[in-house]
């Protein structure tokens, strides 16, 4: 059910976002405790601000009321993906080359399931991440999750 809701919401909001030069980063429909949350993560060149989130939220709220694709009561949240932005699409990974990332895998690769380092390269089949002086090459189909990482 949540996959269907995510795809319906993506289809609703994408034309508005494209028209206003925003990028849809992710849509989540999750239950936390007794509450459902519909979260829409959006970005744009130079970052988004509270006014951008408000404008997108108002647009999406009206569209959701009009089409009513969500059967449960829920809270709508529109926000930036944050500094530790998730990497979901191929383009996200390409933009992250040269940056610090955290990659988790479905199964151990070389004894590890978590890799934090600099993303050296990415293509459809694999990515390379430098951790210290060692570079690990991971098949993309083994990547369970990926996000930018903040270096302290």
Query: Are residues 67 and 22 located together in one domain of the fold?
Result: yes
> Quick check: 1 pLDDT over 60?
no
Whether residue 94 sits in one domain with residue 71: no
* Cβ 65 vs Cβ 104: under 8 Å: no
Task: Specify if 84 maps to a domain.
Answer: no
Q: Please give the average per-residue pLDDT across 46-73, as a whole number.
A: 92
CATH number of the domain that residue 49 is part of: 3.30.300.70
Residues 118 and 75 in one domain: no
The domain boundary, picked from 79, 104, 124, lies at: 79
**pLDDT at residue 50, rounded to an integer:** 94
Same structural domain for residues 38 and 62? yes
Q: Are residues 128 and 70 in the same domain?
A: no
Confidence (pTM): 0.76
For 131-147, what is the mean pLDDT? 94
Tell me, yes or no, whether 98 and 57 share the same domain: no
Domain encompassing residue 106: 90-148
pLDDT score for 67: 86
**85 is a domain residue:** no
- In what side-by-side order are the strands of the sheet with 100-109? 134-139, 126-131, 112-122, 100-109, 143-148
Q: Count CA within 13 A, CB hemisphere, residue 113.
A: 5
| Domain count of the fold of the chain | 2
For 122-131, how does the pLDDT look when each residue is reduced to its tens digit (9 = 90+)? 998 999 999 9
The answer to whether residue 125 is domain-embedded is: yes
Asked if residue 9 and residue 61 are part of one domain, the reply reads yes
**Among 29, 50, 49, 26, which Cα is nearest to 38's?**
29
User: pLDDT category, 77, cuts 50, 70, 90?
Assistant: very high
**Contacting residues for 109 by C-beta, under 8 A, at least 6 apart:** 136, 138, 142
pLDDT the model gives residue 46: 87
pLDDT at 97 (0 to 100)? 96
Domain co-membership, 64 together with 108: no
What pLDDT does 125 receive?
A: 94
């Amino acid at each position: 059910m949540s996959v269907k809701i995510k795809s319906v919401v993506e289809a609703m909001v994408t034309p508005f976002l494209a028209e206003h030069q925003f990028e849809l980063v992710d849509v989540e429909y999750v239950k936390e405790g007794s509450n459902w949350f519909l979260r829409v993560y959006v970005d744009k060149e130079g970052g988004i601000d509270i006014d951008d989130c408000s404008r997108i939220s108002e647009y999406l709220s009206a569209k959701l009321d009009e089409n009513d694709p969500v059967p449960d009561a829920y809270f709508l949240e529109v926000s930036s993906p944050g500094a530790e932005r998730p990497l979901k699409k191929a383009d996200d990974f390409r933009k992250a080359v040269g940056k610090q990332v955290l990659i988790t895998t479905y199964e151990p690769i070389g004894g590890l399931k978590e890799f934090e380092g600099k993303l050296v390269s990415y293509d459809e089949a694999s990515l390379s991440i430098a951790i210290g002086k060692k570079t690990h090459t991971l098949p993309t189909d083994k990547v369970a999750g990926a996000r930018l990482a903040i270096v302290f």
